[in-house]
Amino acid sequence: MSEISLKINQSRLMSNLRYAFSNKFKVIGELAQNARRAGASYVSFRYFEEQKVLQVKDDGCGVGDFQNLLSVAESGWDENIQRQDTPFGMGFLAALFCCPTVTVKSGGLRSNLVTEDVLAGESVVVEPCIHAPRVGTEVDLEGFDVDSKELSKQIGAYAKGFPIPVFFNGEEIARPCALDGGRTFEKTPIGYVSLVGLHAGVKGDLSSSRRIFYLQGVKVLDERGYYSGSDRADIVHLDPRRFFARIPDRDSLIDPEGAACQVRDALAEVWKKHLEEEFARLSPEEFANTYLRAVEQYAVKMLNDLPFIPASYLEVAESYPLIFQEWEDGTRVLSKPVYREQVESGQVCLASIMNDICLEGEGAFEWMYLFDTKMPVLRRSLPEGHWANKYLVNLDQKEWELEINNEQGEQNFWGKWVYGKIILCESFTLKAPGLEPVTFTAHAMVCAEGFVVPAGEKTGQVVRQACNYRDECDLFCEDDADSDYDKFSAMVANLRNSDPAQMLKSVLDGVARIGDFPALEGKKLLVTISEKGEACIELAA
């Protein structure tokens, strides 16, 4: 039997740790965090471009024991910092790995650390220095060869949510996302939060879907929405006792999905609490005008408590319905809400409908009915238990009846994309159980039998109710649509014309251009139509 145990190749481990930090700019965060933990009131970065030296200063408690700088996994911080921040004890290595030499001055002492010597395990001298600060710490990264503009950009990005002031080359860096950056924050179980529409920006404005997470002042997660600016993003400073960052960079969370889920739940509770307070303070109209989007997102059940249906939930059909027409192209949102007493008294009847206009070429009964009656349509679902749900008229479930009044004739129509029987009539009526019948005198409609055309219809728009005129590439074939439109309207006009010659001319014009047949030029033809509708054509003498 044999035994094994964990062994560490110290020199190789130290050498390979240089690859743990993703880039040399990570030293910015590590030294800034050391300043914060040391109780500093600021941290200052100054770059001497010609000498390639980055100097970092703070006014914290200083380095109590220089050995802690080179003790891996032993941070040397006090118990309170250990409990709050869980420091890894690896941060100073970032300074060693980003440049050849690091000089540390603190508490009247100085140590010059050469990276190669430290990694080789050689001892480093700590000696008195009259230039070393008595308060705070100064770290000089010698041979730190970077682009100064990129360095400024990196420090600026890091400082945005940092809890203490950050300076670069003597200029204070803006910290708009910090707890003292000017925004209002609220304490929650997951940390401090500042929400757009509640603590920042216009009340109730949820136009930004971006959410930025900070841990110990470092951005660890960014849920970007369509708006990229941090001024209109939700800012969350996570509680370091509940959330933890990955080593060594600390710029990403352990289990970010789980953390984001916890945050979303906590923010929903914050919104619910504020919405309940605002609901009690404001009139129902003021509350809905300000917080409707927030209610929809975080407390949808509160819609049940409003004595009206918001105007934005209701639309009326404004234009003649066409197949596969975008709903927004043919409707108008109501300008005023519909109140509960209007619905319960029957003064206003509300419709619900799911089908698209003329779906798959079926009759447009529902849409024609809505177009004529201007009945408000609920286009967004209400929560379960809402008082209006039991009053909704579901037009999709109605059995519709078409009644043709005073039929006046029929004629087959053949267009480029559509065909069917034209049924001329004085008018037609749509009926359905529980609804008032509506009669149309000026607008045609597609039905299973063909095209029902009342006396007042003068256009060919009904062809667009039968076909969307889109090819296999989903391109609208405008010329073909216009051709069928014109041909249909001309045929209807001539069918209503009692002059047989004009009627025949309309039929011929719809088939082809007579001028394309030179053999017919100057000829007189005798046309006889039999009772069966068959044409007999002879050359006239």
DSSP string, 119-180: HTT----EEE-TTS-SSSEEEEEET----HHHHHHHHHHHHTT-SS-EEETTEEPP-TTSTT
Distance CA(362)–CA(355), nearest Å, equals 10
147: confidence class by pLDDT, cuts 50, 70, 90: very high
Least confident of 33-42, 118-127, 243-252, 475-484: 243-252
Radius of gyration of the chain (CA): 39
Instruction: Calculate ∠ Cα 303-307-311, nearest 5°.
Output: 70
Q: Given a cut of 80, is residue 185 above it in pLDDT?
A: yes
Q: What percent of the chain has pLDDT over 90?
A: 55
Tell which wins on pLDDT, 353 or 82. Answer: 353
Q: What is the token pair recorded at 329?
A: 């192209």
Instruction: Calculate ∠ Cα 103-104-110, nearest 5°.
Output: 95
Contacts of 286 (CB under 8 A, 6+ apart): none
Distance CA(47)–CA(146), nearest Å, equals 10
Q: Are 32 and 158 in contact (CB under 8 A)?
A: yes
Query: How high is the pLDDT of residue 328?
Result: 47
Helix and strand totals (H; E) in the chain? 13, 27
404: confidence class by pLDDT, cuts 50, 70, 90: very high
Least confident of 11-15, 111-115, 166-170: 11-15
Query: How high is the pLDDT of residue 151?
Result: 95
Q: Are 81 and 71 in contact (CB under 8 A)?
A: no
Chain position carrying tokens 């743990």 = 20
Least confident of 73-77, 181-185, 464-468: 73-77
Q: What is the token pair recorded at 531?
A: 């009772």
Q: Average pLDDT of 287-316?
A: 94
Q: Given a cut of 60, is residue 95 above it in pLDDT?
A: yes
482-528 residue pLDDT tens: 999 999 998 898 888 767 776 677 666 655 667 677 777 878 888 88
15-62 residue pLDDT tens: 555 555 557 888 898 889 889 888 999 999 999 999 999 999 999 988
Which among 170, 105, 99 is positioned nearest to 141, based on CA atoms? 99
> How far, CA to CA in Å, does 325 sit from each of 316, 321, 387, 487?
14, 7, 31, 22
Mean pLDDT rounded to a whole number for the chain: 86
- Ramachandran sector of residue 223 (left: φ over 0; alpha: ψ -120 to 50; beta: rest): beta
Q: Average pLDDT of 148-154?
A: 94
Where helices occur in 309-449 by DSSP H, the ranges are 340-344, 365-373
540: confidence class by pLDDT, cuts 50, 70, 90: confident
Query: How high is the pLDDT of residue 212?
Result: 93
Q: What is the token pair recorded at 112?
A: 């010059």
Query: How high is the pLDDT of residue 209?
Result: 72
Query: How high is the pLDDT of residue 392?
Result: 94
439: confidence class by pLDDT, cuts 50, 70, 90: very high
Which helix (H) or strand (E) is 214 found in, with range? strand 211-215
Top mean-pLDDT range of 292-296, 362-366, 396-400, 466-470 = 292-296
Calculate the dihedral angle through the C-alpha atoms of 537, 539, 540, 541, rounding to the nearest 10 degrees.
-150
Query: How high is the pLDDT of residue 136?
Result: 92
Query: How high is the pLDDT of residue 324?
Result: 63
Tell which wins on pLDDT, 181 or 324. Answer: 181
Q: What percent of the chain has pLDDT over 70?
A: 84
Query: How high is the pLDDT of residue 361?
Result: 46
- Architecture of the CATH domain 10-173: 2-Layer Sandwich (3.30)
Top mean-pLDDT range of 42-46, 123-127, 360-364 = 42-46
193-244 residue pLDDT tens: 999 888 888 888 876 678 899 999 999 988 876 555 667 889 999 998 899 8
Which among 178, 131, 140, 172 is positioned nearest to 155, based on CA atoms? 172
Q: HEC string of 256-286?
A: HHHHHHHHHHHHHHHHHHHHHHHHHHCCHHH
Domain ranges of the chain: 10-173, 186-281, 311-398
Q: Given a cut of 70, is residue 314 above it in pLDDT?
A: yes
Q: Average pLDDT of 337-363?
A: 80
Q: Average pLDDT of 410-428?
A: 94
Which among 284, 309, 303, 288 is positioned nearest to 392, based on CA atoms? 309
Q: Average pLDDT of 170-174?
A: 96
